[in-house]
């Protein structure tokens, strides 16, 4: 038994309240090392009457470790606990202080979960688990009101550049909500809509004003109301790490220098405010002069931005915020942000843009979820780039699932492309079969999937700005077969709760392998997903207890033979299976 690999800590993803009554316990051990693990739990004030051994199971693994998990429903919302490790006949007990061979006699040295305080329970909005998001870059989605077009607007469908405009606006989105409803979309994430000089609007000049090229507050209110009538939630982009150089307080600093009353709203290293050898004399997003970093610790800045966050929820009824460059803003600001937003709408979704491991923001006091780029990387590395084998992919997503409490993983924002990345079809070299495999995994995985506008009809594009092409609205130029594929994927996900909230278990993910099989289970219901990324046919042989299975995509019925289900998939083939007698 390799005790050096064993790890537990009584907080965050290792010991946490899943809801007001349930505590999840996790423990890490060397992969394949332990044969059994138990949590030894009880109430600290009634130990002898409540103590029990709860079997733990491996809920995920990575290349080095197994992660064991169990849940406990303590009768009085508090828990004292230790662990019992077994490797065949060897037994070791774990307390907070040490490993020991004998049953612990000093109960004060066990771990504790002191009490499930309702206010401490991390409870992201439940609706997110059932949502399929669609990301819209407003300037490129649809032109619905030509009277708003900026000067020198380009003909729709031209080549996107860093600084050109095509006239997309909020009315254009309203005009095409039928497309989203037909697809099955139930959530929209908009990149910024507030007044700014660029086409992307990440250089905000006025956080209380809709960009005139998009419409006005009344237009946004009509859009949100129209979305809600269709069962579609709306997220707006909050760019609170930095403003634009046209933001009135920064303009004042440019004009008045050290005499400006707003000089402390920003991180200015020296005056005059200017750029020296390409580096501004003030902190900015990267080194972009037009995006000065806001001092979110300053009381007036904080008051202004928190007012913005509250205003748009109350004024137009948006359902949440996506937070740009979220990991460069201080944690104290985000804690206050959460309080303000949740008071305005307890069901609002707070989504941070963080591209890396994000557990410091997912403890229930800041964000509900983050944009799940580690998931994106794993999917692309396996299906598109070929740099991961099946085992490597399973290890990568297993590692990711181990990092966060379950409720954070259930509402993770799972994307395969965005305005910041090359498009999925382009990354796949135009191969729709590869693209479909990646999308199928996305829609059968834990978390909320998001489609980048146009992916569903075959829009391609390289890195920014090419990934920000105009949406194609001519049906003759749309890939309607691809649209039908996405539509069916969404319907299958909607009709099978286990694909949204069930557990995830890999049934096949071998070293050097190009086949994946996994089960999503919720209670007695389960769905088995098979994926073959090889350019030749392959056969799966899986031990499954049910005798008859139905492919949810094709309707084909399959039967087990002596407890083994044999399924031959063609090159780049897939199957989503449900026991037919359930």
Quick one: which of 375, 446, 358, 445 has its CA closest to 417?
375
Q: Which residues contact 317 (CB under 8 A, 6 or more apart)?
A: 221, 224, 225, 228, 234
For residues 411 and 432, what is the distance between their CA atoms, to the nearest angstrom?
27
Beta strands, E only, 332-375: 349-352, 369-370
Burial class (CB in 10 A: 0-12, 13-18, 19+), 212: exposed
Length of the chain: 582
Both structure tokens of 364: 């229930």
Q: Is 11 helix (H, G, I), strand (E, B) or coil?
A: coil
For residues 353 and 305, what is the distance between their CA atoms, to the nearest angstrom?
17
Q: Is 131 left (phi over 0), alpha (psi -120 to 50) or beta?
A: beta
What value, to the nearest 5°, has the Cα angle with vertex 383 and ends 378 and 385? 80
Containing H/E element for 58? strand 57-61
| 96 annotated active-site | no
For residues 20 and 333, what is the distance between their CA atoms, to the nearest angstrom?
26
Intra-chain end-to-end CA distance of the chain, in Å = 42
For residues 269 and 287, what is the distance between their CA atoms, to the nearest angstrom?
13
Both structure tokens of 38: 């138990």
* Options 353, 391, 455, 498, the catalytic residue: 353
* Options 69, 205, 290, 324, the catalytic residue: 324
For residues 521 and 38, what is the distance between their CA atoms, to the nearest angstrom?
22
- Show contacts of 151-160: CB within 8 Å, 24+ apart: 156/470, 157/469, 157/470, 157/472, 158/470, 160/461, 160/465, 160/466, 160/468, 160/469, 160/470
| 229 annotated active-site | no
List residues bridging with 446 in a β-sheet.
none
Greatest pairwise CA separation for the chain in angstroms: 84
Quick one: which of 123, 230, 105, 248 has its CA closest to 176?
230
Catalytic annotation, residues: 324, 353
């Amino acid at each position: 038994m390799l005790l050096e690999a064993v790890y537990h800590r009584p907080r965050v993803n290792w010991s946490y309240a899943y809801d007001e009554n349930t505590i999840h316990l996790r423990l890490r051990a060397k992969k394949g090392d332990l044969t059994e693990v138990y949590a030894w739990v009880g109430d600290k004030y009634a130990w002898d009457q409540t103590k029990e051994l709860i079997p733990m199971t491996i809920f995920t693994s990575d290349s080095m470790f197994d992660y064991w998990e169990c849940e406990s429903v303590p009768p009085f919302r508090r828990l004292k606990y230790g662990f019992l490790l077994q490797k065949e006949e060897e037994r070791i007990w774990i307390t907070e202080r040490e490993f020991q061979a004998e049953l612990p006699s000093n109960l004060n040295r066990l771990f504790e979960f002191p009490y499930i305080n309702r206010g401490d329970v991390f409870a992201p909005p439940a609706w997110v688990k059932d949502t399929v998001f669609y990301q819209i870059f407003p300037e490129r989605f649809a032109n619905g009101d030509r009277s708003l077009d900026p000067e020198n607007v380009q003909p729709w469908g031209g080549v996107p550049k860093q600084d050109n405009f095509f006239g997309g606006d909020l009315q254009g989105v309203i005009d095409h909500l039928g497309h989203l409803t037909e697809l099955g979309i139930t959530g929209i994430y908009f990149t910024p809509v507030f007044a700014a000089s660029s086409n992307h609007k990440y250089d905000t000049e006025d956080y209380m004003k809709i960009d005139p090229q998009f419409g006005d507050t009344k237009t946004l209110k009509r859009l949100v109301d129209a979305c809600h009538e269709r069962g579609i939630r709306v997220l707006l982009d909050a760019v609170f790490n930095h403003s634009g150089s046209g933001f009135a307080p920064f303009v004042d600093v440019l004009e008045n220098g050290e005499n400006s009353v707003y000089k402390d709203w920003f991180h200015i290293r020296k005056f005059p405010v200017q750029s020296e050898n390409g580096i501004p004399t003030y902190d900015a997003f990267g080194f972009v002069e037009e995006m000065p970093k806001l001092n979110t610790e300053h009381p007036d800045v904080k008051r202004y931005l928190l007012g913005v966050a509250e205003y748009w929820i109350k004024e137009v009824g948006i359902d949440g915020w996506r937070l740009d460059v979220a990991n460069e803003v201080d944690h104290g600001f985000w804690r206050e942000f959460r309080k303000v937003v949740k008071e305005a709408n307890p069901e609002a979704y707070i989504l941070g843009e963080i591209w890396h491991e994000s557990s410091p923001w997912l403890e229930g006091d800041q964000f509900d979820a983050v944009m799940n780029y580690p998931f994106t990387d794993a999917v692309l590395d396996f299906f598109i780039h070929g740099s991961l084998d099946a085992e490597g992919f399973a290890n990568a997503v297993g590692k990711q699932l181990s990092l966060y409490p379950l409720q954070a993983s259930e509402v993770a924002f799972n994307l395969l492309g965005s305005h910041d990345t090359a498009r999925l079809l382009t990354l796949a070299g135009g191969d729709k079969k590869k693209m479909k495999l990646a999308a199928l995994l996305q829609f059968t995985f834990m978390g909320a999937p998001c489609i980048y506008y146009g992916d569903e009809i075959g829009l391609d594009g390289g890195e920014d700005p090419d990934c920000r092409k105009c949406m194609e609205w001519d049906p003759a130029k749309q890939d309607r077969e691809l649209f039908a594929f996405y539509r069916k994927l969404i319907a299958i996900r909607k009709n099978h709760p286990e694909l949204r909230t069930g557990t995830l278990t890999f049934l096949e993910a071998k070293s050097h392998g190009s086949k994946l099989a996994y089960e999503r289970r919720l209670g007695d219901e389960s769905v088995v997903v098979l994926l073959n990324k090889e350019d030749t046919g392959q056969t799966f042989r899986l031990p499954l207890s049910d005798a008859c299975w139905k492919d949810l995509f094709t309707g084909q019925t399959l039967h087990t033979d002596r407890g083994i289900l044999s399924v031959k998939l063609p090159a780049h083939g897939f199957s989503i299976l449900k026991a037919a007698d359930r």
